[in-house]
Amino acid sequence: MHAWQNTLEWGLEHLEMVELPDPPLPGPGQALVQVHAAASNYRDVTTVTNAFPLGRLPQIPLSDCAGEVIAIGVDTIRVGPGDRVCPTFFRDWLTGPPTNENRLKARGSASTPGVLQERLLINAEELVKIPDHLSYVEAATLPCAAVTAWRALVTCARVRAGMTVVVQGTGGVSLFALQFAKLHGATVILTSSSDAKLERGRTLGADHLINYRDCPEWGQRVLEQTGGRGADIVVEVGGAGTINQSLTAARVGGQICIIGVLGGRTQELAMSAIFGRNLHLHGISVGSRDDFEAMNRAIAASGMRPVIDEVVPFHKAPDALHIQRGGTQFGKICIAFN
């Protein structure tokens, strides 16, 4: 089978397509999945470049894919041949709260091979069935970005009708957050560096738009747009570049879901804003299989579709990561396998 990997050197330019032996037939509790599509995340740009030097070569990148079960082992009952499935992001976080142990094995990292390969041998416990109305390409976007947005907004912050949610930027996690917030009847304030992207966000239901380039003090603008009250929830992906604006934007007793570090990893914090305004900070690391399945039920019931900017063919898979690194996309970038 074919796979993409960094073999001897890290870096996007050193990703190469290789021929690997087909996985063996599935053993007890296992399933063999024919992968039909994958999707990239900002995180994959950092793992391919070994930005946080923990990786081990050779490494197959990417955490997110969707495919069809083509064989199962004895005692495999969770899925059967023909089922359309996605793997979970973490191999071992199936249920309950996060622990050190259940988040050790993240696909596409030093601990666990990624999914940019044509067939995956996998424990059936790590598979989730995908909503019927989604194509494989659409479903491939779910395991990391969508589950992260779901866990942040629904599992942790308990978004509900009438709340105001701030969503930063128009990348993968953020547009899922926008869609889930609207699904729950919330008002959404969307920020972006681009007026054109903001207008596209409006068609997804964003109620208020802020260009964070034109308005660097956008936290204050959120206060104005909420009549001085502030937002109930801020979905924080900008890290150092945005956290102090997020602290300004949140209402007294509001919640900030800390997810990303697109604008840097360390920053001085206005501590008095946190205790003075009784803010709640939720650290998020993707989510569990339970989160994934709850999210899929909501996606199936609502008919929601992921926002996909571009689909590249398998033989050009590194292009997906080049686009991701450039940041021009609106939503997800996917890879179609055949």
Ligand X SMILES: NC(=O)c1ccc[n+]([C@@H]2O[C@H](COP(=O)([O-])OP(=O)(O)OC[C@H]3O[C@@H](n4cnc5c(N)ncnc54)[C@H](OP(=O)(O)O)[C@@H]3O)[C@@H](O)[C@H]2O)c1
Q: Which residues in this chain contact ligand X in the complex, by CB under 6 A?
A: 41-43, 144-145, 148, 168-174, 192-194, 197, 237-238, 241-242, 259-263, 284-286, 324, 327
Smaller CB separation from ligand X, 194 or 267: 194
Going by C-alpha positions, the residue among 220, 226, 214 that lies closest to residue 244 is 220
Minimum distance, C-beta of residue 10 to ligand X, in the bound complex (Å): 17
Smaller CB separation from ligand X, 85 or 145: 145
Are residues 333 and 320 in contact, defined by beta-carbon separation less than 8 angstroms?
A: yes
Smaller CB separation from ligand X, 176 or 337: 176
Smaller CB separation from ligand X, 7 or 193: 193
Smaller CB separation from ligand X, 30 or 155: 155
**CA-CA distances (angstroms) from residue 146 to 16, 22, 138, 173?**
28, 30, 11, 6
Minimum distance, C-beta of residue 66 to ligand X, in the bound complex (Å): 17
Minimum distance, C-beta of residue 280 to ligand X, in the bound complex (Å): 17
Minimum distance, C-beta of residue 68 to ligand X, in the bound complex (Å): 25
Question: What SS3 string covers 302-318?
Answer: HCCCCCEEEEEEHHHCH
For residue 58, is the peptide bond before it cis, meaning its omega torsion is within 30 degrees of 0? yes
321-326 contacts, C-beta under 8 A, 24 or more apart: 321/12, 321/15, 321/40, 321/44, 321/45, 321/48, 321/61, 322/12, 324/40, 324/41, 324/42, 324/44, 324/45, 325/12, 325/45
Minimum distance, C-beta of residue 153 to ligand X, in the bound complex (Å): 13
Q: Pairing between strand 308-313 and 332-336? A: parallel
257 sits in which H/E element: strand 250-258
Q: What are the start-end ranges of the H helices in the chain? A: 42-48, 136-139, 147-150, 172-183, 195-203, 218-225, 243-249, 271-276, 289-302, 318-326
Smaller CB separation from ligand X, 117 or 168: 168
Minimum distance, C-beta of residue 243 to ligand X, in the bound complex (Å): 10
Who contacts 109 (Cβ-Cβ below 8 Å, separation ≥6)?
47, 54, 55, 59, 63
Minimum distance, C-beta of residue 261 to ligand X, in the bound complex (Å): 5
DSSP character for 159?
Answer: -
Which residue is at the shortest CB distance from ligand X? 171
Smaller CB separation from ligand X, 72 or 142: 142
Burial of 196 (0-12, 13-18, 19+ CB in 10 A): exposed
Minimum distance, C-beta of residue 321 to ligand X, in the bound complex (Å): 10
Smaller CB separation from ligand X, 35 or 321: 321
